[in-house]
Structure 1
Amino acid sequence: MSTALLICDDSNMARKQVAKSLPEGWDVDISFATNGVEAIELIKAGKGDVLLLDLNMPEMDGYQVLEEIVKQDLPTMVIVISGDIQPEAHQRVTGMGALDFIKKPVNKDKLTEILRIYGIFAPEDEVIMPVFNTAIEEKIALEPLTAPIAPAEEVNQNKSEVPELLAPDLRDCYQEIANVAMGQAGDLLARLLNVFVVLPIPNVNLIEVSELSMALSDVEEHESTSGICQGFIGAGISGEALLILNDSSFNDIANLMNYQLEVDERAELELLMDMANVLIGACLKGVSEQLDMTFSQGHPVVLGQHRKISELIASNSKKWKRTLAIEISYSIENYPIKCDLLLLFTEDSMKTLNNKIAYLLD
C-alpha cells in the first residue's frame, strides 16, 4: 500500500531536491505544498500521512503548521527539513511534535536513516523499479514551473541581454541557496550571543544601485546606521557583502557579548566588525559550498558610522552599478537588534551563477 507523503516547502528547487532524496523504490503517493496553509488542507484530505516540512515559509511557517497539527489533532508524522540549524530550532520543533530534524540541503542517506528509525520506511516497502523511482520522477516532472531557466549562454551573451527582472525559477533557486547560507550564519550568531535568531525569507532581486536603499525596507529611514563592506571573488564570480547595523543595536549586542568596556565609537566599530566577520563569512561559506567553489574575501572596509543608509550606499554607487542583490534581515528574539546583510553579485557574474544553478537542478 502506498504511503501518502507530503513535501511542504515554498521553494520549488527544495521540493524537488527532497523528492529526489527519497529512498529508491519506495512506494509513495507524493503531494506538494508551497506553504503551511496548503499543507494543512492536504493533510485533512488524507494526502499527508508523512509530512516533510520546511520552517521558513510565507503565509504559514513550519512552526505554525506544527501548532495547527497539534491543535486540530491531525493524523500525520512530521520530519522537519530546514536551513535553520540553530540548536533551539531543533529543540522547538521536536518539542512541538516533530519526529526529527534534518538540515538543508537534504542528505539522502540521512533522510532514509530517519525514515527507517521511525518505521516509516522499511526494505519490504521497496517495489521493483528501474534505476530511478519512476513514480517519484513523474511526480517531480508534474511540479508546476513558473518559467523555464534559460541557458546562461543565451541569457548572458552580453550585458544588454541580462533580463530586467529575474525569472521566477531563477529567483527561487537563488533564494533557496541564500536560505541555506543564511541558516548557517544565523546558527553561528545564535551560538555567539546565546540567543534565538529570527530568520526571514531572503529577498532576491536584480536591481540598480539606486534601488539598494529601497531594498532595505525593514530598516527605518529615520534611524542612523553603521556599515561595513567586504569584497569577495571566485572563479567567474565577484561581488561585495554589505552589513548594515542599526546604531540602537550596539548596547544590546555589547551586553550579549559580555563587553566590559564603555560602548564608545571605537567599541561600536569593534562590535560591528565582530558581527560582520560572523555573518559575512558564514554566509559566503554557505553559498560557496552549495556552488562547489571557493570565495576569497578582501579586507573589510568601514562605509561609515552613524549615518543614514542612503549616505552609506551613495558613497559606493559608482562601484556597485547594477547588481544581483540578496538581502537578509536578521533580528534577535526578545531584543531590538536589527542588522541587514546584502550579498551583491556583479552583473558579469550572472553567467557563471546561472551555469552553477543549472548544474544543481540536473
Structure 2
Amino acid sequence: MKTRFLKIERSCVILCLLIPLLFVVADLQGTAKGKASRRSGRSGGGDATVIGQQAIRAYQRRDFIHSYELFNQCVKLDPRDSSFQFYLGMSALQLSKFVEAEHALCRVIVMSSPDSEFATIAKQTFKSWRSQFHGIQPYSQVASSNLMRWDKNKGPIKVWVSNGLQLPEGYRGPQLTNEKCKSLYYMIDEPGFTQRLSVVQHYFPEYQQIVKDGVNDWGWIKEEGMGSIEFVEDPRKADVVFFWCAEWGGGHVGMAFFPWKNYDNSRCIAIIETEYLRQLGQRASKELRKTSAHEFGHILGLNVHSDNPDDVMYGAPGKAMTWMESKQYSNASSISRNDFVTLRALYELPPDEMFEPHSFTPQPKKTQKKH
C-alpha cells in the first residue's frame, strides 16, 4: 500500500464528516509504505501528485465538488494509491454520492492491510453510516499476498468438474503441492488421462452438479462486467479443474491451487474432500455447495478469508481452518453482500498478478508410416 499526502489534521477530517465518526481519527500521514512495483505499472505518477495536492486543499476548505472531481482524476492516474481512493470516497460521501463512496471505500479496504490507517477509518465509516451502506463489511485481500484476479476482458473462465475422480497416487490430498501442480498440468493434457483415474470413496454422482451449483453462485460476475463462467466437458480445455480426495487432513475440507506463471498449460486445481461430506449426512449437499462456492471464490481472486461467519469466504486468516471452525463455516449463508462488494472492488483495481483463460491446442495424432 502507498500514500502520498502530508499530514492532515484530525480536526479537519472530523469536521468534514456531516455525521461525526465515533472514534479517534489517526494521523493521516502520507508515507511511502509499500511502494512495490506492480505488473500493471503506474502511469502519470507525477501528474497525480500535483493534482492530489490541489485536491487535498479543496477537501480542507470543504470544497467537496472540486475535491471529488480532482480525486477522481488522481484515481484514474494511480488507482492503487489508498489515499486517493480514501479521499475520493469521503468527498463523495459529503456530496451524498453513496454509490461512488461505497465503491471507493471498498477499494481502500480491499487493497490495504487490515490494520492500515485508511482501511480502519473506511471500515468505521461504513459502520457509522450503516443505513446508507447497508452494513457492508468488505475485507482486505492483501493480508498475506498481493492482489490477484482474472483478466475480465479475455473471455470466460472455463470450468471442468470431475465425476468423483481422484488424482493418481502421489497427488492425492495433502500429497499434492504447488510444485507438483506443474507436472499435473502435463498429465491433464495427456489423452485418456481421466480414463485412468479411479472414483474416490464416499462419492455420490449427484455431487458433480452440486459443485457446479456452488460455482454458479458466482455467476453474477457476468452482469457486473467481471468476466463469465463456462462449464466444459474436456479438462484439457479448462482453466479450472475440480478433483476429489478421500481426506485432506489438517482441518481442510477443500483446497485451491493458483496457476503457475509462464506455463502455457497452467490452470487452477481445486480439490474437495469426501470424508467431511460423509460425516455431515443429510446436510452434505447443502455444505458441499457452500464449500464449492468458497473454493471458487478463492479461484476468482479472494485469496484472503473473511472473519465474518456470515460470508461464504469466512475462514481463519493465515492458518488452516480447524474442524470446529469448518462447522461454523458450514452454518454460513451463501454469497453475502460482503463477498460481493469485496470481489467487485478487487476487479475494479489493477492487480499484481493477472490470470488469463487457458488456451488448449490438441496435439496431432501420430500416424505410422506405410512401408
TM normalised by structure 1 equals: 0.26
TM normalised by structure 2 equals: 0.25
